[in-house]
Amino acid sequence: MANDDIQGTITDSSGNPISGATVYLVAETSTNKVAFKSTDSNGYYKFTKHPDADGMPQEWHVAAYYEDGSGNVFNSVSQPKVSASLSEGAAISSSVVYDLETGDTSRWDDVNDLSATTSQVYAGSYAGICDNAITNGYQAKVNIYDGGRQPSEFEFFWRETSFSYGGGLRLLNSDGEFELGLATDNPGWAIDDGSGVQKVYSGDGYDRWIRFTITFDWSNGEFSADFEDLSSGSTYTDSGRQLKKGKDLEVLRLEDYTGGTWQDGDSMNMWFDNISFTA
C-alpha cells in the first residue's frame, strides 16, 4: 500500500474556497476520524504519508466540517484527493480515535517506544504497548489538532503489569505548555493538573483495563474526571479541577511516570487503547 499525500480543496456551494474548515481523515472501513487539519486561506488541506485510495483493502476518505458566523453547520464527505463542496446537512462525527487498528504507529508523528500489539487489546485487533521507558523524553507523540482546539471530552483505556513503575500521557496546548497529565503510579491513579500532581486512588491491582474519561469546561478552565477499573468496578470521580493553562489542546504525548515524576526512565510495561477526543 502506498503512503502518499492526501490533499484537496474545500469550497462552498458556489465554488469559493473556505478558510478554517476542519478536515478529518476517515478510515473507509470504520467511522474513526484518525487525523485533523484546518484549511488555509485558499481552502487547501494536506495529510502527508497516509495510505491513499490505491485499490488496497484500507482506503481513506475525507470529511470536512465548517460552522459559519451565524451558527450554520456545513459538511461533506469525499474520496481522497478530490475537492469537496460543503453544503448544509446532518452533522458528521467529530471524534478522533488513536487505536492502532492499522497494525502500526503510522498515525503518530514521532515514536521512541510505542508499537502495535495483539497481546492485550481492549477493543478491536490492536493496542499500543510501551515497554522501554525513555529518560528525559517521551515514548511517542501525536499532533491531535493543528493550531489547537477545545474538545469537550477525552478518553483512553490502559493496563500495566506489576513489572511496570508507571506511565501515562500528557496534553499540551498550542503554546507548547502542559495542560493536563494522567498516569498510573503502579497501580495507583494520578492527575497532574493546575494544582500539581495528586494520587487520587491507590488502585486495585495489575493486568486489568482501566478507563480514564475527562470532560472539559473550557469557559472556566476546568475539567471533570471519571475513572473506572473495568475488572473490580472501582471508580473515582471529581469535578471543578483546574487545567494548568485552560487554553486548548494540540499535542498528546505518552510518557514514563513514577512517583510524581515524568520521564524518569524507570521500568514501563503498559498498554494503551482507544485514545479518543470528542469536539
Residue 84's nearest CA partner among 21, 3, 27, 131 is 21
253, 131 in Cβ contact below 8 A? Answer: no
Q: Which CATH number is 98-278 given?
A: 2.60.120.200
pLDDT band at residue 30, thresholds of 50, 70 and 90?
A: low
CA angle centred on 103, ends 111 and 185, rounded to 5°: 55
Residue 156's nearest CA partner among 179, 132, 177, 127 is 127
**Fold for domain 6-93?**
Immunoglobulin-like (2.60.40)
- Mean pLDDT value of segment 115-127: 93
d(CA 256, CA 155): 19
**In this predicted model, what pLDDT tens digit does every residue of 162-208 receive, in sequence order?**
999 999 999 999 999 999 999 999 999 999 999 999 999 999 999 99
Give the type of residue at 20. G
Using the Cα atoms of residue 196, residue 200, residue 205 and residue 211 in order, give the sign of their dihedral: negative
Look at residue 75 in the predicted model and tell me its pLDDT: 63
10, 39 in Cβ contact below 8 A? Answer: yes
pLDDT at 236 over 70: yes
SS3 118: coil
Supply φ then ψ for residue 25, to 5 degrees.
Answer: -95, 125
Q: Residue ranges of the domains in the chain?
A: 6-93, 98-278
Look at residue 2 in the predicted model and tell me its pLDDT: 46
**In this predicted model, what pLDDT tens digit does every residue of 93-105 receive, in sequence order?**
446 678 788 888 9
Higher pLDDT, 125 or 188: 188
What residues are paired with 129 via a beta bridge? Answer: 115, 271
Higher pLDDT, 185 or 71: 185
Look at residue 242 in the predicted model and tell me its pLDDT: 98
